[in-house]
Structure 1
Amino acid sequence: MSMASNLLPKSMKAVGLYTNLPIADAESLLDLKVPLPILRSTDVLVEVKAISVNGIDTKQRSKPVPPTFELPRILGSDGSGVIVAKGEKCKYFKVGDEVFFIADLRRNGPNAQYVAIDEIMVGLKPKNITFEEAAAISWTGVTAYESLYERLLISNKDKGKTLLIINSGGGVGSVASQLAMNLGLKVIGTAARSETKAFSLQNGADIVLNHIKDLLPQLEAQGYINGIDFILVNYNPYPYWDTLMAVAKPQGRICFLCDSSGLVDIKQLKEKSLTLVAEMMATRMKYNTEDKYRYREILEDISKMLEAGKLKSTLTKIMSPINAENLKEAHRMIEEKKSIGKIVLSGF
């Protein structure tokens, strides 16, 4: 380890859990004092400055703790901070680097003062934004990037084509809108509340439809009934399936980010030769794929976009400090679908 271990504390504050409980339960998330994580050879140890709260966090909390975890389990899917130590095989970062990162869901996460994380899941924090702004875009930024570039295969050659984003006011949707706008696509977002509609427009959507109402007549009124080139479904696709089949352009591409609540008839894909793909940002980590190094490359690419002003953080709310009370409130807001953009918790 590259930093004298006697300079680090032996224990740290954390927010964790012992069992899966509804967020209203007083024991659902607890303020804890735990030992510092053990560093592996390719890990960096990050002193956490800010964390964001994602839908995946609420799902992890509500599921039984996997038997591979020692209790208590510490959640968290992304954040930002400063590297204070590193394993002997680390080659991309040095102690003192300010970074932002995505967390490995197979390990304890960053809802703590320190987190140990493989350096391939880390990027240098953009110099022109705060730790809070950086924490807000790690997980959603990589997810949106993979969805557009690697699943839907969108590139500069698609300038002028159309992208429909179901739920464009959330964390992923608002980053995807910006990435698509930068590629010259026409972005059609969907939202239900006036504030999420406004947020979608601020982040690059050209028009925003109401997804509480039937989308077909709305698309027809806007002149898009003859086909959408790309569709990103950032919500349960089940209620939208027939609409998607109707509006997708022949040979178009559709990407799902969320599970379907029911069975859909994929025979409908054939007539238009549609491509249906799925995106789960955790795939590379879960299956230890040969290209897992892409996480770091994508984070570095996002960092450069942020520094160049081509991308902006979708941070909308900061809560401080990082503790069980504030994390419960953030989980509750996400579960009740009352959040816009990204909620970030800052400092201990």
Structure 2
Amino acid sequence: MRAIAALDGLPISDPGSLVDVDLPVPDLRPRDLLVRVQAVSVNPVDVKVRAGLDRQGAPRVLGWDAAGTVEAVGEAVEGFSPGDEVWYAGDITRPGSNSELHAVDERIVSRKPATLGFAEAAALPLTTITAWEALFERLRLDGSSRGDLLVLGAAGGVGSIMVQLAKLRTGLRVLAGAGKPESREWVTALGADEVVDHHDLVASARAVAPDGVDLLFSAHSTGNVEAFAEVLKPFGEVVAIDDPVGLDLFPLKTKSIAWHWELMFTRSMFTTPDVAEQGRLLAETAALVDAGRLRTTLRTAIDDFSAAGLREAHRLLETGRTVGKVVVHR
């Protein structure tokens, strides 16, 4: 089968950073689906893993978002059949979805929304799982939750779905962190109640929440902890998804602010007893999409499922200026 592999941790400007390769069709574990991949999206994890590869190491197939059609099923699979259209975010401990055929555990898969094409669907799984777990598991929010949630990086992949989920399933006022006009327009269209200028976070947040905010989502924590301590109320909470090295959380102590980590790969990495929860929440998300209550966060679609197309997607993501999601499709 054809696949796209990353080599040597090269910069994305190097044609050798992602290359087209031929690989064997993956063997299926008992609970695996073999999916013919039609579309993938690119996330920061793809860039981080690619950049961290060892020189002269084994080629690595990246990709942790996919939509496609089930081609075959493992001997213990019960919930899917060949021909089913599915979406999922995959397992970082296994080869990724940047390939013609991909093996994935059925427990972290659901049928894709019927109202979305493959490209529109591929934009959502990883970021939806991340936002869902952050809001409803780490922060334990529900329909009775009230107060202010500040979503930083709200025009990004996770932020774009978090704004929608928070407005749909909680009673929170959602403040969206954005900078450039395009980002401000995007988050407002997604339902944000207020827009906060992340370039002047403390002053901008105080202007719309003078008493402070209750909850804060962070995709970039390095150098911002003191600002978080300023804008959060006493006993506030932060949920973060980035990988800051040596992060100092001491500025949060005076206000007894809690810090939560969210990593959507935890369930699949450790095969936790509730690993099937990811498939369930994707199925619930698909129903919300089909009911017209959630929208895709696709903004840039690249019709070139090849190394060249994926290099362009990585390049766009590395600019740090993308709005919504970048998808590569057939």
Does the pair score TM above 0.5?
A: yes
Taking the aligned partners of 1:39 and 1:221, their CA distance within structure 2 comes to 55
Does residue 105 of the first structure (1) align with residue 92 of the second (2)?
yes
Alignment match, 1:122:
109
**Which residue among 153, 167, 172 is the counterpart of 2:158?**
172
Q: 1:309 aligns with which of 289, 292, 297?
A: 292
| Shift of residue 65, structure 1, vs aligned partner | 5.3
2:217 corresponds to which letter in structure 1? L
Q: Which amino acid in 2 is paired with 1:72?
A: P
The offset of 1:111, in angstroms, is 0.6
**1:240-275 residue CA offsets vs partner (Å, 9 max, x unmatched):** 211211221222211111122553243x43433322
Q: Which residue of 2 aligns with 1:184?
A: 171
The gaps in structure 2 that reach 5 residues or longer are: none
- C-alpha distance in 2 between matches for 1:66 and 1:229: 45
Q: How does 1:327-346 map to 2 (within 5 A)?
A: 327-346=310-329
SS at structure 2 position matched to 1:201: helix
Match of 2:301 among 318, 322, 327: 318
Q: TM-score scaled by structure 2?
A: 0.95
Amino acid at match of 1:178: Q
TM-score scaled by structure 1? 0.90
- The alpha carbon displacement at 1:117 in A equals 0.5
Q: Does 1:257 align with 2:241?
A: yes
Structure 1 residue 43 corresponds to structure 2 residue 43: no
Report the AA paired with residue 164 of structure 1: L
- Cα-Cα RMSD: 1.7
Give the deviation of 1:165 after TM superposition: 0.8
| Residue 148 of structure 1, aligned match among 116, 135, 139 | 135
Which amino acid is the alignment partner of residue 256 of structure 1? A
Q: Note the alpha carbon deviations across 1:40-64, whole angstroms, 9 max, x for none.
A: 1110000111111111001111112
Q: How many residues align?
A: 329
- Partner residue in 1 for 2:259: 276
What is the DSSP-based 3-state SS (H/G/I as helix, E as strand, rest coil) of the residue aligned with 2:187? Answer: helix
Paired residue type of 1:286:
M
Q: Which amino acid aligns with 1:264?
A: D
CA distance in 2, matches of 1:153, 1:66: 42
Instruction: Sort the Cα spacing of 1:145 and 1:65 in 2 relative to 1 into closer, same or farther, 3 A.
Output: farther
Which of 282, 301, 304 is the equivalent residue of 1:299? 282
Amino acid in structure 2 at the alignment position of 1:345? V
Secondary structure in 1 matching 2:177: strand
Question: Structure 1 unaligned runs (5+)?
Answer: 1-11
Matching residue within 230, 234, 253 for 2:219: 234
Separation in 1, partners of 2:14, 2:241: 29
Q: Distance in 1 between matches of 2:86 and 2:140?
A: 28
Deviation per CA, 1:152-208: give whole Å up to 9, x if none.
11111114x210011100010010000111123211111121111111111121121
Shift of 1:129: 1.1
Is the aligned partner of 1:243 residue 2:227? yes
* Aligned partners of 1:228 and 1:247 also within 8 Å: yes
Would the alpha carbon gap of residues 265 and 85 (structure 1) be closer, same or farther in structure 2, given more than 3 Å must change? closer
Aligned partners of 1:295 and 1:277: how far apart in 2?
19
- Provide the rounded CA distance (Å) in 2 between the counterparts of 1:180 and 1:249: 19
- The answer on 1:52 being equivalent to 2:37 is no
**Match of 1:147, as an amino acid?**
A
Contact between 1:65 and 1:73, CA under 8 Å: does it hold in 2? Answer: no
1:92 aligns with 2:79: yes
User: Which of 211, 217, 234 does residue 203 from structure 2 map onto?
Assistant: 217
Counterparts of 1:177 and 1:262 in 2: how far apart (Å)?
29
Q: What amino acid does structure 2 have at the position aligned with 1:190? A: G
CA distance 1:66–1:141, change in 2 (3 Å): farther
After TM superposition, the runs of 4+ consecutive aligned structure 1 residues lying more than 6 A away are none
Match of 2:195 in 1: 208
- Tell whether the 8 Å contact from 2:64 to 2:89 is kept in structure 1 after alignment: yes
Shift of 1:342: 0.4
Q: Does the alignment pair 1:32 with 2:21?
A: yes
Distance 1:41 1:296 in 2: 17
Amino acid at match of 2:219: N
Q: Is the 8 A contact 2:206 2:231 kept in 1?
A: no
Change (3 A) 1:338 1:221: closer
CA positional deviation for 1:34 = 1.7
Percent of aligned pairs with the same amino acid: 36
Tell me, in whole angstroms, the C-alpha distance in 2 between the residues paired with 1:282 and 1:39.
20
